Structure 1
Amino acid sequence: MRMNEMVRRTRVHERLLRYYEQQGLLTPARLPSGYRVYDESDVETVRRIRCLLAAGLSTALIVQVLPCIRADDERLVPTCPDLRAQLLREGERMARAIEDLRSSHAILDTIIAAVPHEGAGTPRPSQGVAEAS
């Protein structure tokens, strides 16, 4: 199928499909004219890519993971023995990043709580100090 049909079937913009190809996630055939031709299996590959991206994986990691994933009804299942450990490490990395964000959010909340509310007698920067006449 050509690019426009792939876009219609996957609901993924052609720029993203080209990006997936640049990243090594898709390898469509090329006609002598240079046009891309996608296989039916590429529709499922794009679905898997989108699912893995939604799970927070980078395209660099998806390149490694994609050959070791199969679809089982509506979920993806790892098929390579070491993939589970790799995904667990990625999950741990995400958990640390989430905890870092929670800590940052707590610090920001503390700073916000220390800021006087408007109307509490503190001049706003735009008010300035009245000049003496």
Structure 2
Amino acid sequence: MTRIGVVAVVATLLVGAMPGVAAQPMQEANLLVSLPSLGTVTWRCGIAPGSYNLGFRVFERGASTEARLVVGGLVVLSRTVHPGHAWRLPAAGREQRLELSQFTGAGTLKATVSARFERRPVASHCYRYSPPNLVVRVAARR
């Protein structure tokens, strides 16, 4: 075996033995909710324990959408997300709110997705079968 091959095997074994690496089984985004005419909201585990990422993707045939991440009552980030594009939000704490507004000729569509990642004794929110507590509100206005 070459020197590079040995280093790769040793590195793989060390990473597998590191505490916390196996505790993060879900690194890909998982569907949290699909919002009518707006898009989809996803979640994943952050790198630090107790941190979680939300994400938002506008439907291909949707319209540009104003999105805001609210943590602790403060707007942390805001962005315009265009059809077919996604916004992967940074890891934040256990309570996060995503506020979405879409303005079209037909009217305004607003949605709020509030996620609460509570401590769980059995399975953390890092498993796709263990989503956070969720409150979703969608309202259309002319």
Q: TM-score range by the shorter chain?
A: under 0.3
- Larger relative strand fraction: 2
Higher RCO by CA contacts (8 Å cutoff, separation 6 or greater): 2
Between structure 1 and structure 2, the one with the greater Rg is: 1
TM-score, normalised on structure 2? 0.22
TM-score, normalised on structure 1? 0.23
